[in-house]
């Protein structure tokens, strides 16, 4: 069994993954940023966007196939999902004109075939956060490479996240990060962990 945590940049995915891993005693698997196309992509986004996304797609497929092959008593918490790679980030590249319609349609065909044959998460946890909350948390953690992220970019991603999560038909739990600040509020943190545990038990842990 695995559960997956999804949400925009700065929503708290990695922190919640750490919390759940410790609370449940499950293995944590974090998003890997290594990609042999990443340097080329930042040099020429239109040329390398398709290659970048296809590599991430394959990497995510191998990750989930590895989880599916684990013994029944091994459980995993995953930071970020294959779904948002396509429905949010690849789609955003397409909307921005950095991924051509031809390449985007080919990529989405590959994505559709891939996810149809993958193990699905027992629970998807979506961290919903407004742009001001995202900006505040990004500034709080102080990662240099995130300092130049624009609010309009975060807003565009938020819109795509909302469109996708509204159509996701598997078990899901939505956490309103604006109202439930599990990063700084111990009571909110405990309440969310309890909610998640109850839903996991209902999913058949």
Catalytic residues: 79
Residue 34 to residues 3, 30, 31, 54, 59, Cα–Cα distance (Å): 23, 12, 9, 13, 10
Q: How far apart are CA 171 and CA 109, in angstroms?
A: 24
Q: How far apart are CA 49 and CA 156, in angstroms?
A: 18
Q: How far apart are CA 38 and CA 44, in angstroms?
A: 10
9 exposure class (CB count in 10 Å sphere: 0-12, 13-18, 19+): middle
Cβ atoms 104, 90 nearer than 8 A: yes
Q: How far apart are CA 179 and CA 104, in angstroms?
A: 36
Q: Residue 172: helix, strand or coil by DSSP?
A: strand
Cα torsion 115, 121, 122, 128: sign: negative
């Amino acid at each position: 069994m695995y559960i997956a945590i999804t949400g925009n940049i700065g929503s708290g995915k990695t922190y919640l993954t750490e919390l759940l891993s410790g609370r449940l005693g499950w293995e944590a698997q974090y998003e890997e940023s290594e990609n042999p196309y990443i340097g080329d992509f930042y040099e020429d986004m239109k040329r390398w966007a398709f290659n970048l996304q296809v590599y991430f797609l394959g990497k995510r497929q191998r990750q989930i196939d590895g989880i599916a092959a684990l013994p029944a008593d091994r459980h995993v918490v995953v930071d970020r999902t294959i779904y948002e790679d396509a429905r949010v980030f690849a789609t955003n590249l397409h909307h921005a004109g950095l991924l051509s319609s031809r390449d985007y349609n080919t990529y989405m065909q590959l994505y559709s075939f891939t996810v149809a044959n993958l193990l699905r998460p027992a629970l998807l946890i979506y961290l919903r956060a407004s742009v001001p909350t995202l900006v505040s948390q990004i500034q709080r953690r102080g990662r240099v490479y995130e300092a130049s992220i624009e609010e309009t970019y975060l807003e565009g991603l938020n819109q795509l996240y909302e469109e996708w999560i509204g159509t996701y038909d598997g078990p899901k739990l939505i956490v309103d990060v604006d109202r439930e600040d599990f990063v700084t509020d111990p009571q909110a943190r405990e309440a969310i962990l309890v909610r998640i545990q109850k839903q996991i038990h209902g999913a058949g842990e």
